[in-house]
Amino acid sequence: MSWSPDEELVILTTGQETIIMMTKDFEPITEVGIHQDDFGEGKFITVGWGKKETQFHGSEGKQAAQKKIQEVQPAVAWDDRRPRVTWRGDGQLFAVSAICPQTGAMKIRVWNREGVLQATSEPINGLEQALCWKPSGSLIASTQHHPNKHSVVFMEKNGLLHGDFTLPFSKDQAKVKELLWNSDSTVLAVWLEDMSMMNSRCACCASSAVQLWTVGNYHWYLKQSLDFGRDPQKAPVCVCWDPERPLQLHAVSRSWTSITYDWGWMTERSPGLDATDNANVAVIDGEKILVTSFRQCVVPPPMSSFELQLTSPVNQVTFLCRPQGTNQVAAFTANGQISIYSQGRLTKLAECFVLPSKMSGIYLIMAAVEVDGVVVSVVHCSQTGTVALQLEDGQIRKLVWDHPEPSVEDWRDSSGCRINFPVPCVQTALCSISGEECLLGLTDRSHLYAGDTELASNVCSFAVCNDFLLITTHSHTCRCLHLGTLTVKGLQASLASDGSQNDETLRRVERGSRIVTVVPQDTRVILQMPRGNLETVHHRALVLAQLRTWLDSLRFRDAFECMRKLRINLNLIYDHSPKVFLEKIQTFITQLNSINHINLVLTELKEEDTTSSMYPHPESSSIQQQPSSGQKKVDVVCDALRNAMESMDPNKFSLSILTAHVKKTVPELEIALQKVHELRAPGAVSAEEALKYLLFLVNVNDLYEHSLGTYDFDLVLMVAEKSQKDPKEYLPFLNMLKSLEPNYQRYTIDKHLKRYKKALLHLSKCGQSEHFGEALQLVKEQKLYSEALKLYATDSVHYKALSCAYAEHLVEQQQAEQAGLLLWRCGEPVCALQAFAGSSSWRNAICVAQQIPLPPDQLALLARDLAEKLTEQRRYADAALLLD
């Protein structure tokens, strides 16, 4: 008899080989025979693509077409010949296994909810009585007896085989009584009974066991083995999973004792915090422990770095919580033994105690402490030596084991209040939050607690490493929080927030990711995806914390390599501590010791302060301000690096020196080109190589123009040859320039480059009479009056002409008074008088008029005109003074 998952239907199998379907009120719905000649509604359809004899058979050859169908072997002798019924999780289909009357072999048939046959299994030799449909609906589990092995097989709903795994015992050693899937389809329980005593007088003393199997990456792992021994009173008569708690198993023994087992998913990782810890992770797989050292390599399961073979199935594994010894692993096996394994050579002992031979190799229990309650987990902190116990009801106890008399006391906070978990936790870890030691716990319902305070309610997994708390959440994120800078309330707030754009604590991950381990003193976090594969991520918070540590300790090369590999902006090397960087700049150059690496740092420079924008410091960190010298950051770094490299080895760092010139906010291309010109000396770095590199940094046309500005035609030709210019374009122009007088040549080049001030300077040296008209035209076009007046003597004709031109410009700019002063100074009083009169500068106008001198009548007329203008401008006092 079997009830449907929704408890609306019940299926009965009768002694007449029939199936009766009833309602929950036991009203019959239908009755059909178990054994049907038809395959069912899901019968396979052939499209008639030729006969088997004419088809291609691959490596088997033509003989495969003549192979005869093997006869199906009858069921094993110990089979009880009773039908089994199992339902799919959604209650739409059920399967029935029964012995076929014709062949004596086991057959499985699948029926729908209306009692209509859907499919019949293919003939399978050695198929046994155990039957259980995976609640998720994908597979039906059963067992198969092979000539040389015993295995659990899986079938699809159409009756075809779909995978299997081998049970860890030899032929005829044990029989499988039942298979039981848990409610979320993650664990398969195999209920076994020893067959070695079945034919003896002590058949009633046959031992029983329950094995728990899980699957990952298409590999089946034996995770737990419950051995009930040979005592018939302890043997289970009923085993079943809890329908609501997926990892809770119930068993009832012959002595009417009910036992409930509670399990939780845990990742057993080595607890070390320094570089000596190999970041080991141990996985239980029956009698083997699969150990992977993630510091050396990332090995995807079911593979591992190495395996430890034991003589009995392993039920528990853990690592030693002692500094410099965290790579040692201990295993607790089903037969009650504890085995300890360590890597490397045996430790030399200062003292040696001789034990009797019968006690050699046995670890002695030095002390026992009685605890009031059932301890479900123990966690040990290797830094502080604290040992925390969790009882089955969530209470927390502290084991005081370093005293002469070990004892257990309540866990209390800094204020003396008792702290307990609200509910039992399946994973616990000790950490320090703002200097106070705290016990973290994760429940099977994804609630994360710090003592009795709930931090978050959507946590998949968590790990504590080097003062960082890392968690993955059901919202597909990985958070990394620094425990030294946050309080418990701060942790709550951080985990409740969605994070800002540049929040280094937040990283998106794949749905269902779980933390496997964190490599100590490193930036790697190993995540496992739901399908079983591993991924290595470098969490930004761990990366930045490690970089800050390296930069504080002046390990520039380690920081640079990490930043280059993980694509961290290289400006952080300077922005983290500008003063220290400038003081230790030669150390930086010596450690990098690579022109390419220094060039990479230079080319990534920008004015942005990355410590306040891209990578803000944690709240408790002291932010070092950049020096306020008035210079721009890029110029400061470029000059500092260039000066240091020139003092160390200018030839070796020639390319980096060029980069420092070019990268400045105002690129010093002429200086860079001049340095390329200087490199042409024998024994120096190749100028061709330097120029080729410079062309990589700067646009070739810009470089050609700036090479002209050096007035070195050899350098210009060198640059032009490297460009894509046609020689017909630049050779006539260069030949024309070579034919000119040197100063006029430079004037022509500067005017071509629009460097008009330099052009005017060189033109003034060409001969003041010959080219003055051209100079005056340049001054008027580019308004270089002030610069031009500095180049000519004040008593020269050219100075007067420039002054008159400047005065005209000032009058156009509504600055007539300034124009009048300029004309007065250069000896043009009449023009100055007009300018003063136009600007109502009456004092200057009267002075100039008297200097000319004007006749009295014209002077009086001038005064009246000026007074009228002043009156119009409401400057009455000046007008009255003028007329007085």
Q: Which one is predicted more confidently, 824 or 530?
A: 530
The mean pLDDT of the chain is: 85
Averaged pLDDT for residues 633-656: 92
- DSSP letters, 756-813, are HHHHHHHHHTS-TTTSHHHHHHHHHHHT-HHHHHHHS-TTSHHHHHHHHHHHHHHHHT
Closest C-alpha to 314, from 279, 293, 339, 291: 339
Percent of the chain, pLDDT > 90?
Answer: 46
pLDDT in tens, 451-482: 999 999 999 999 999 889 999 999 999 999 99
Question: What pLDDT, on a 0 to 100 scale, did the predictor assign at position 357?
Answer: 47
Q: Which two tokens stand for residue 611?
A: 């410590």
pLDDT at 828 over 90: no
Average pLDDT over residues 647-672: 90
Which helix (H) or strand (E) element contains residue 361? Answer: none
Average pLDDT over residues 240-267: 93
161 to 34, 140, 185, 559: CA distances (angstroms): 21, 9, 19, 55
Average pLDDT over residues 236-261: 93
State yes or no: pLDDT of 200 exceeds 60: no
In the chain the first and final C-alpha atoms are separated, in Å, by: 134
Compute the average pLDDT of residues 121-148.
90
What would the mean pLDDT of 375-400 be, rounded to a whole number?
90
Section 68-97 average pLDDT: 84
Query: DSSP letter string over 147-166?
Result: SS-EEEEEE-TTS-EEEEEE
Distances (CA, A) of 206 to 129, 233, 663: 19, 11, 84
Q: What is the four-CA torsion angle of 354, 360, 363, 366, rounded to 10 degrees?
A: -40
Q: How many CB atoms lie within 10 A of CB 671?
A: 16
Position 359 scores a pLDDT of 47
Cis peptide before 74 (omega within 30 of 0): no
Cα(308)–Cα(288) distance, integer angstroms? 5
Listing DSSP states for 67-81 in one string gives PPPPPPPPPPTT---
Q: What is the mean pLDDT of residues 656-666?
A: 92
Digit-coded pLDDT (tens) for 441-450? 999 999 999 9
Hey, how many other C-beta atoms are within 10 angstroms of the C-beta on 272? Answer: 25
Name the band, by pLDDT with cuts 50, 70 and 90, for residue 877.
confident
Q: How far apart are the C-alpha atoms of 7 and 25, rounded to whole Å?
A: 10
Contact between residue 785 and residue 809 where contact means Cβ atoms under 8 Å apart = yes
Structure confidence at residue 620 (pLDDT): 45
pLDDT reported for residue 51 = 65
- In this prediction, residue 621 has a pLDDT band, given cuts at 50, 70 and 90, of very low
CA-nearest of 454, 455, 390 to 424 is 390
Query: Per-residue confidence at 874, pLDDT binned at 50, 70, 90?
Result: confident
* Alpha-carbon span 168 to 151, nearest angstrom: 9
Q: What is the mean pLDDT of residues 179-207?
A: 80
Mean pLDDT of 766-792: 78
173-187, 326-340, 348-362, 686-700: range with lowest mean pLDDT: 348-362
In the predicted structure, residue 201 carries a pLDDT above the cut 60: no
pLDDT exceeds 80 at position 865: no
pLDDT (tens digit per residue) in 742-778 = 888 888 888 888 888 888 888 888 866 677 878 888 8
- Neighbour-count burial for 404-425, b at 16+ CB within 10 Å, e otherwise: eeeebeebeeeeeeebbbeebb
Count Cα atoms within 13 angstroms, Cβ side, for 241.
25
Closest CA to 717 of 704, 700, 701: 704
Q: How does 173-207 read in b/e, with b if 16+ C-beta sit within 10 Å?
A: ebbbbbbbbbbebebbbbbbbbbeeeeeeeeeebb
List the chain domain ranges.
2-43+72-262, 265-344, 542-660, 796-883
Q: What is the pLDDT of residue 328?
A: 92
**93 or 803, which is more confident?**
93
Two structure tokens written together for 174: 């044990």
Q: For 705, list phi and psi in degrees, rounded to 5.
A: -65, -40
pLDDT of residue 66 exceeding 90, the answer is: no
Q: Per-residue confidence at 882, pLDDT binned at 50, 70, 90?
A: low
Question: Which superfamily does 2-43+72-262 belong to?
Answer: YVTN repeat-like/Quinoprotein amine dehydrogenase (2.130.10.10)
C-alpha 254/C-alpha 192 separation (Å) is 16
Asked if pLDDT for residue 504 goes beyond 80, the answer is yes
Q: Is 142 helix (H, G, I), strand (E, B) or coil?
A: strand
Q: What is the mean pLDDT of residues 815-819?
A: 73
286 or 814: which leads in pLDDT: 286
Q: CA-to-CA distance for 673 and 714, rounded, in angstroms? A: 11
Q: What is the pLDDT of residues 837-848, one digit of tens each?
A: 666 666 766 677
pLDDT tops 60 at residue 603: yes
The conformation of residue 850, written as its DSSP 8-state character, comes to H
pLDDT computed for residue 610 by the predictor: 92
Q: Can you give the pLDDT at residue 38?
A: 85
Are residues 396 and 440 in contact, defined by beta-carbon separation less than 8 angstroms?
A: no
Tally of CA atoms within 13 A in the half-sphere of 69 that contains its CB: 5
pLDDT in tens, 558-570: 999 999 999 999 9
Q: What is the DSSP code (8-state) at residue 721?
A: H
Q: 100-104, 182-186, 290-294, 521-525: lowest mean pLDDT where?
A: 100-104
**Taking residues 629-655, what's their average pLDDT?**
90
pLDDT at 138: 83
Does the pLDDT value for residue 629 go beyond 70? no
Global pTM reads 0.79
Closest CA to 66 of 74, 78, 57: 57
Task: Summarize pLDDT for 410-423 with one digit per residue, the tens.
Answer: 999 888 899 999 99
Q: Is the pLDDT of residue 224 over 50?
A: yes
Residue 319 — very low, low, confident or very high, per pLDDT cuts 50/70/90? Answer: very high
Helix/strand/coil for 50:
coil
Helix (H, G, I), strand (E, B) or coil at 229: strand
Residue 316, token pair as written in the block: 């528990």
What pLDDT score was predicted for residue 743? 85
Q: Which residues contact 101 (CB under 8 A, 6 or more apart)?
A: 17, 35
